[in-house]
Amino acid sequence: MTTAAAIHMQNILFAYQPAKTILQIDDFSIPAGGRVFLHGPSGSGKTTLLSLISGILVAQQGIVTVLGEHLAKLSPSARDRLRGSQIGYIFQGFNLIPYLTVAENIALPCELHDTRRARISEPTIAKEVTRLARRLDIDTHLNKPVTQLSTGQQQRVAIARALIGSPALVIADEPTSSLDTDRRDAFLALLTEAIEEARKRDNADTTLLFVSHDRSLATHFDHIFSLSDINTASQPQEVNA
């Protein structure tokens, strides 16, 4: 891979308990600006991998470089800062803070990180939230509590929150598993379109890392990896994806 890799992992060894290696990755790179599909069945260590990339966990061995930063060399709070300001994260389900409104949920990364606030294209955060919400067709729900939204709407709010302030890397961890098949495709189309637009708008090299056990989704992506190919550790069963 080139030096313009968004994520680069080398000689990684990770175990929650000694002698139970969960991840062993010799060399894995994700190109900057790529739309990457990572296939991984349940229990293949997906969430652990994503935790390593987002700097929540640190590998016992090896080098993880994310957006040019050598994670192990950063302090924990610097890793938190990098994650908050450069990575948009979409969970499988229950993506939202229950006690905040839709608009407050979307705006949260900008409230926390100046770098993300600085990158919004509208003059104020509120306008940027409205613009994103309109694009994702949730603008009529902005002042509602998130509990009143359908699952599909909630996942769209999650996209808006992941994309606001144009982070360089968007990670989606099984974001479609709580949606039915029709909505799954619509969601995926919306996600890739929104990222495409963000790229054009901000002239950025936004990388999308999409993780799923569902191979049928892979057609939407430029690069396809399988975790079982990357991870050479034998898979323990109790790890939850």
Partner 1 sequence: MILLRLAFKSLRARALTTTLTVFSIALSMMLLVGVDRLRDAAQAGFSGTLSKTDLIVGARGGGLPLLLSSVFHIGNASNNISWESYQHFAHHPAVAWTIPISMGDSYHGYRVIATDDNFYAHYKYRKDKSLKIVRGHTPEEIFDVALGAEVASRLHLSLGQHIILAHGIESKSIINHDTTPFAVVGILAPTATPVDRAVYITLLGDEAMHFGWTDGTPPAIGEAVPKLDPSKLKVDEITCFLLGTKSRISTLYLQREINTYKPETLTAIIPAFTLQELWGLLDYADTALSLVCVAVLVVGLLAMLIALYTALNERRREIAILRAIGLHARQIFILFLIESTLIATVGTAVGIAAVYVLLFLLRTTVENYFGLPIALVGLSTRVEYYALATIVAGALLGTVPAFRAYRNSLADGLNAQ
* Tokens 């057609």 -> residue: 219
Least distance in Å: CB of 82 to partner 1? 8
Least distance in Å: CB of 77 to partner 1? 5
Contact 159, 134 (CB under 8 A): no
Using the rule CB under 8 A, is 111 a contact of partner 1?
Answer: yes
Using the minimum distance from each CB to partner 1, give the nearer residue, 112 or 149: 112
CA atoms within 13 A on the CB side of 135: 22
Q: Which residues of 26-49 are buried (b: 16+ CB within 10 A; e: fewer)?
A: eebbbbbebbbbbbbeebbbbbbb
Using the minimum distance from each CB to partner 1, give the nearer residue, 108 or 142: 108
Using the minimum distance from each CB to partner 1, give the nearer residue, 4 or 78: 78
User: Which of 177, 159, 172, 55 lies closest to 105, judged by CA?
Assistant: 159
Binding segment toward partner 1, per CB under 8 A, in 84-92, 174-182, 187-195, 228-236: 84-92
Among 173, 188, 198, 206, binds partner 1 (CB under 8 A): 173
Greatest alpha-carbon span in the chain = 53
Binding site for partner 1 (CB under 8 A): 47, 50-51, 54, 56-57, 76-77, 80-81, 83-85, 89, 91, 94-100, 104, 108-109, 111-113, 161, 173, 240
